[in-house]
Amino acid sequence: MNKIFRINMSDMTSKVESVPAEWAGLGGRGLTSTIVAAEVPPRCHPLGPNNKLVFAPGLLTGTPAAQSGRLSAGAKSPLTGTIKESNAGGTAAQQLARMGIKAIVIEGMPSEDKWYRLHVTLDGISIEPADELVGKQNFAVMDQLMDKFGPKIGILTIGVPGELRMCAANISVKDPDQKIRSHGRGGLGAVMGSKKIKCITIDDSGGGKVPIADPDKFRTAAKIFAKSLLDHPVSGEGLPTYGTNILINILNEAGGLPTKNFRYGQCEHHEKISGETMHETIVARGGKHKHGCHAGCIIQCSQVYVDEAGIYVTSGFEYETIWGLGANAMIENLDDIAKCDNIMDDIGIDSIEGAVLLATAMEAGVIPWGDGKECLRVLRDEIGKGTPLGRILGNGTASVGKAYGLVRVPVVKGQGIPAYDPRSVKGIGVTYATSTMGADHTAGYTIATNILKVGGYIDPLKKEGQVELSRNLQIATAAVDSTGMCVFIAFPALDIPESFTALIDLINAAYGLSLTADDVTELGKKILKIEHDFNKGAGFTNQDDRLPEFFTYEPIPPHNAVWDFTDEEIDEFWNF
């Protein structure tokens, strides 16, 4: 990967640049965050001409290494006001990598009210009109583009909420089955919409193989790495069988399943929405319980959820979405939850922010608790069409809370808190508070060690060890997010020493390097500090690294736990 494609939407120019030496060893999140930090003024308006939207495949993307097909998207987030990186599967990352494209940087914004499609080929990017696609949602956009270019075309697209610059808008990525994966969090769809880009098409004709410096060493490491993924019970058996939704019952039993907008830690109807029930339903109806989000995925945590007639309803049906709609918004019917997931794919909003904001709308009395049918209508006809109510909701959980004068508003830095209660799983609370991305469970997934006993065990109800746990995981995750690897490689990496060694060997073999584990840790630290410095430049201080106040005075049953970290204890996080 030796090219950077740069497109300026202010003067409609397109350039192909060589990769500066200091960016050569970066990919994925490391590269998007480095470019955003170097080129975007931290205080700029996220929807204005000075923000930039950056896409970058990971360091190992496009190689035969398992799990390496993730694409990072980065910008200043309109939802949080912080730097943002969100990564997704799909076909685009591997296509870009095989075309030698290390990053696409989109800057400026057009003065005219016209919409465009960026068309990426080996030669560069052309700016094409997209008037006929405006007002269409994602599946219609993808159908029209596949009719025009054939089924292999890579597609990144936004729906109507992205066009309307709503802060919950995501960027959808076509996957190998012509369905959708998402750069979900942080409202990056609104940034794409602000630049008047409806979609990006990728024609990878003429793309070659990603060069590998030492093919023999690479093959050996790739085998060890793949074996570790299959040997570990979580990545090798649990995830392909039950998907991520197996967590409903574990979090429920541990008292950490936020229910009815974070009132309770357990949900009475947990069994109806559980991974076990979902597995049985999919198998009985003839869907697929294992499925990958990109070519080369051997974990297969995705699934194809079908209705009673065996017709596709949704795929990539994740725990956080099912938790948010099922437990937090109290919708008991898994079919309704699946339909909501599909509509969120279609209109292009983050299914975590979408689920959390719907529960907050229930708190406000806008939607009855547990009313899945009304949620479907609100998603499709209010948010999806940009009505005034739809815009209040579509701007995210914090927007709903402010509009309706609510106090129980689960956000950090404006981003909705996902599926693990920080009072009864304290490590994840440290991650929510300190992450450079706002409330983001993937930034430092302490659930592994707090709840699943992967990588050791630290009692989720006690404060001891949580800051260090979150810090170590956030550092490691920042590095992993730079490789193009799926975050679930962490399960074997935490438990099987050869797995992490093989990952480093893969990078070394691909690039002819001799990195050590310490180098990888240093990379993770460097990325976090670049991101943190950007946020400080944008006006954030340690006082923003805090959870909403209600967590300190509303005990959550069954453990009646409260959030009890002092400011000093949280601030210790950045002491590295």
Partner 1 sequence: MKITVKLFAGFRENRFKVAERELADGCTIAGVLSDLGISEPELGVALINGRHVTLDQVLSDGETVSLFPKVGGG
The residue ranges that bind partner 1 (CB under 8 A) are: 233-234, 237-239, 241-247, 249-250, 253-255, 266, 271, 275-276, 301, 319, 441-442, 445, 447-448, 451-454, 457, 459-461, 487-488, 491, 558-559
**CA-based radius of gyration for the chain:** 22
Least distance CB 82 / partner 1 (angstroms)? 21
Least distance CB 480 / partner 1 (angstroms)? 12
* Cβ burial, residue 368 (10 Å; 0-12/13-18/19+): exposed
Least distance CB 306 / partner 1 (angstroms)? 21
* Cβ burial, residue 461 (10 Å; 0-12/13-18/19+): middle
Nearer to partner 1, 40 or 437 (CB): 437
Least distance CB 353 / partner 1 (angstroms)? 17
Nearer to partner 1, 529 or 559 (CB): 559
Nearer to partner 1, 445 or 540 (CB): 445
Least distance CB 101 / partner 1 (angstroms)? 29
Least distance CB 559 / partner 1 (angstroms)? 7
Least distance CB 460 / partner 1 (angstroms)? 8
CB 125 within 8 A of CB 13: no
What's the rounded Cα separation, in Å, for the pair 511 and 213?
Answer: 6
Nearer to partner 1, 180 or 299 (CB): 299
Least distance CB 234 / partner 1 (angstroms)? 4
Least distance CB 92 / partner 1 (angstroms)? 22
What's the rounded Cα separation, in Å, for the pair 246 and 322?
Answer: 11
The answer for residues whose C-beta is within 8 angstroms of residue 39's C-beta and 6 or more apart is 52, 105, 107
**Tokens 């697209």 — which residue?**
157
**Tokens 């090219």 — which residue?**
3
Is the four-CA dihedral 390, 396, 399, 401 of positive or negative sign?
A: positive
> Which amino acid makes up residue 367?
I
DSSP of 129-168, one letter per residue? Answer: E-GGGTT--HHHHHHHHHHHH-TT-EEEE--HHHHTT-TT
DSSP of 185-219, one letter per residue? Answer: TT-HHHHHHHTTEEEEEE--TT--PPP-S-HHHHH
Least distance CB 369 / partner 1 (angstroms)? 24
Q: Are strands 3-8 and 71-76 parallel, antiparallel or unpaired?
A: unpaired
Nearer to partner 1, 458 or 510 (CB): 458
Nearer to partner 1, 61 or 449 (CB): 449
- DSSP three-state, residue 547: coil
**Cα distances (Å, whole numbers) of residue 267 to 244, 254, 323, 372:** 18, 11, 10, 16
List % helix, strand, coil for the chain (3-state, nearest 5): 45, 15, 40
Nearer to partner 1, 7 or 496 (CB): 496
Nearer to partner 1, 351 or 442 (CB): 442
Nearer to partner 1, 72 or 266 (CB): 266
**Tokens, residue 91:** 């076909």
Nearer to partner 1, 173 or 451 (CB): 451
